[in-house]
Amino acid sequence: MNWLAVLLGAAVGAPLRYLTDLALRARRGSAFPWGTFAVNVAGSFVLGLVAGTTTARAHLLLGTGLCGALTTYSTFSYETLKLYEDGAKRLAVLNVAGSLAAGLGAVWLGVEAAAGLR
C-alpha cells in the first residue's frame, strides 16, 4: 500500500503546482518563472520538514508524493534555457542562482523547524 501514499501525495502536489503557476503568472506577468521558483522553494521546505520526521508513511506521502509532484527540475531547466535563448541571460543566471540559494535555504529551514518540533 506504499504506492497509495505516493499516489495521494502526488494527487495534491501536481494540481497545486499547476494552480500556483497560474496564479503567479496572472499576478506577476513577467518573464521570470515565479511559479516554478515558488513551488520549488516551498517543496524544498516541506521536504526539509519531512526529512526531520521518522515516519515512513510521511516520507512516502509528503516527500515522494507531494514534493515529487509539486517541485519540478525539468520545468526549471527548460524555463532557464528559454530565458537564455530569448536574450534574458541575466534572468537565466538569476533563476539558477536564486533557485539554488533559496532551495538550499528552504530545506535547511525545514530541517531546523522539524528539529524544533521534536
Q: CA of 108: how far to CAs of 96, 101, 114, in Å?
A: 18, 11, 10
Taking CA 117 as the corner, what is the angle to CA 8 and CA 103, rounded to the nearest 5 degrees? Answer: 65
pTM of the predicted model as reported, rounded to 2 decimal places: 0.94
User: What is the per-residue pLDDT for 29?
Assistant: 81
Residue 88: CB atoms within 10 A of its CB come to 16
> Would you list which residues are annotated within the binding site?
68, 71
Would you give per-residue pLDDT tens digits along the chain (118 residues)? 899 999 999 999 999 999 999 999 999 888 999 999 999 999 999 999 999 887 888 899 999 999 999 999 999 999 999 999 999 999 999 999 999 999 999 999 999 999 998 7
User: What is the per-residue pLDDT for 21?
Assistant: 95
User: What is the per-residue pLDDT for 117?
Assistant: 84
Residue 93: CB atoms within 10 A of its CB come to 13
User: What is the per-residue pLDDT for 45?
Assistant: 97
User: What is the per-residue pLDDT for 55?
Assistant: 86
The grid coordinates of residue 41 equal: 522553494
* Contact between residue 62 and residue 114 where contact means Cβ atoms under 8 Å apart: no
> Would you list which residues are annotated within the binding site for Na(+)?
68, 71
